[in-house]
Amino acid sequence: MGVGAAVVVVLIALGVTVVIGMVRSGGSTEVMDAAASTSPSAAPFGQVYVHVAGAVATPGMYRLESGARLADAIAAA
């Protein structure tokens, strides 16, 4: 058997394996409603520490109020 025939046999075996796996799993996937999923919420109080690096005036660690945005961290640096 030549190399080309061996490649064909391997590809067919791989295809059969994939099909068997799909049939056994039922071929279904779970779909979640985006509105039903929980999203993380900001803590109502407290502070967070953020490390700012890159093209800012003064890179380093900064303490920000909980709920601060990316722009707040960049402005602090």
pTM above 0.85, yes or no: no
Number of other CB atoms surrounding residue 62 within 10 Å? 19
Q: Is residue 75's pLDDT more than 80? A: yes
Give the number of residues written for the chain.
77
pLDDT tens-digit map of 23-63: 777 655 666 666 655 656 555 678 888 888 888 888 888 88
- The CA–CA distances, whole Å, from 50 to 4, 14, 21, 24 equal 57, 48, 45, 47
Distance of CA 38 to the CA centre of its chain: 16
The answer to whether 68 touches 43, Cβ cutoff 8 Å, is: no
> Which amino acid makes up residue 5?
A
Higher model confidence: residue 10 or residue 34? 10
Report the pLDDT value the prediction gives residue 40, as an integer from 0 to 100. Answer: 60
Q: Is residue 11 over pLDDT 90?
A: yes
pLDDT at 66: 84
